[in-house]
Amino acid sequence: MVTEAAHKRLVQFQIKPSLQRIAVMNYLLNNRTHPTVDEIYSHLAKEIPTLSKTTVYNTLKLLVDQGAVLLLNIDKNTQHFDGDVAPHAHFRCIECGRIVDLPQPRVSKINVTGVGELQITECQVYYKGYCADCRNAKIQA
C-alpha cells in the first residue's frame, strides 16, 4: 500500500520516488520493528512480484545515505533499519532479539577537554539486556 507519507519523506530527503522506493519507505514508516533486508524483501515481494532483493539493498543504501532512514548495527550479525530518524536510542533483548526505541535527549554540541567544541551530526546509542518478557521467563524457569 503506497502512502503519501512515504512519498513525502522521499521528496524531503531529495530522493526521486519510484514504486520500489515508496514501497520500502512505506514499510519502514508503518512497521516500527527495525526490520532486516530479508524481512522487508519477504513482505514486499508478495505485493511486488518483480521486486529483487538487490533492489531492496540498493534502495536501503540510498535511503541511509540520504538520511531518510537509520542503519542500526546493534546486532553484530545483522543490519536493521529504522524509519524514525528523530534522535532516540535503541534497546536489543539478548534473548529474543527484539529491538525497541528508547527516548534520548538531543545533543548538538559538546565541549571535550583538550579537544574543543565538537559539532555532533549523528549519535547512535545502543543498550542490550533482557526485555520484560524474557526476564520474566528466566525467573519462572
- If you count DSSP H runs as helices and E runs as strands, how many of each does the chain have, helices first? 5, 7
Residues 57, 99: Cα–Cα separation, whole Å:
21
| pTM, entire model | 0.84
Domains of the chain: 4-82 (1.10.10.10), 88-140 (3.30.1490)
What spatial distance separates the first Cα and last Cα of the chain, rounded to whole Å? 43
**Contact yes or no for 95/130 (Cβ under 8 A):** yes
Q: Which three cell numbers stand for residue 28?
A: 519502514
Residues 99, 32: Cα–Cα separation, whole Å:
9
Q: What is the pLDDT of residues 59-117, one digit of tens each?
A: 999 999 999 999 999 988 899 999 999 888 999 999 999 999 998 766 656 666 667 67
- The contacts of residue 11 (CB under 8 Å, 6+ apart) are 17
